[in-house]
Amino acid sequence: MVSDRIRAMGALHWIVLFAAILAAWVALFAMSIPSDLRIAARIYGADFWTSFCVVTPDAAGLMRVFAMWMLMSGAMMAPTALPAFATYEDIGRQTEINFSALIAGYGAVWVGYSALAAVLQMWFFDMGLLNAVGDSQSLLFSAALLGVAGAYQFSPIKEACLSKCRQPLTFFMGHFEEGPWRNGLRLGLVCLGCCWALMLLAFVGGVMNLAFMGLATVIMIFEKLPEIGRYITRPLGIILLLSAASLALSAFI
């Protein structure tokens, strides 16, 4: 029942999880870059950011970029997994489960993704594809990212991962005996399979752009809901592919 579930989410471990998600969004807000400064960066270049002490993707700033991606992953992905976390707790209600181990396993996957994304951001910056704040500097690069994300919306891997996210009870029942850590890892990998391409669109929408992060989070939450998710995935893929084609065409006009 809904009322029982709401009451259960008042337990300490849920409050801690909600507080962590809120803290991640607050930190992202504090680190976010206003649009006028983004425009100035395009005019004055990477050196402009030095005077503002903004994170720059150089060798010295790798850990800061990594921390930024971890905050993004936590703030954006944890809300999409809340129904799955609640389902796991419901299954284990008759036994004593380690909820923290489930969250830790899930988070470990996104820590790994954050490390890869941070390295990619620095590499793309060195290639001149991104500016110092992680915004795309190339229409063709943006088109390629949109095209990959759009095509992935139609892939069997995406569909298989979404089917598991939309049916967490069935997913967990098949592996419950493996314990919370491994179930957390499995859930993290499934969520990664759903969302990695959409997360990389931060390079198009703007790394540390709160508007993009908020919109992407809402889309990923709805996409995992069994009632409406199936009506989002393919239309979103079409929109992304059309956007990719439009940007690619603009690059040659």
Q: How confident is the prediction along the chain (253 residues), in pLDDT tens digits per residue?
A: 444 555 566 678 888 888 999 999 988 887 776 655 656 656 555 555 444 445 565 666 788 889 889 999 999 999 999 999 999 988 877 777 888 999 999 999 999 999 999 999 989 988 989 887 788 999 999 999 999 999 999 999 999 999 999 999 999 998 888 999 999 999 999 999 999 999 999 999 888 788 889 999 999 999 999 889 889 999 999 999 999 999 999 988 7
What is d(CA 39, CA 29) in angstroms, rounded to the nearest whole number?
Answer: 18
Q: In this structure, what token pair is assigned to residue 43?
A: 């005019």
What is the total count of domains within the chain? 1
DSSP H helices, 92-225, are 99-126, 139-152, 156-166, 168-173, 180-200, 202-205, 210-223
**pTM to 2 decimals?**
0.85
Q: In this structure, what token pair is assigned to residue 188?
A: 């993290």
- Look at residues 93, 118, 103 and name the one whose alpha carbon lies nearest to residue 191: 103
- Look at residues 78, 111, 87 and name the one whose alpha carbon lies nearest to residue 5: 87
What is d(CA 191, CA 118) in angstroms, rounded to the nearest whole number?
Answer: 19
Residue span of the structural domain in which 72 resides = 2-252
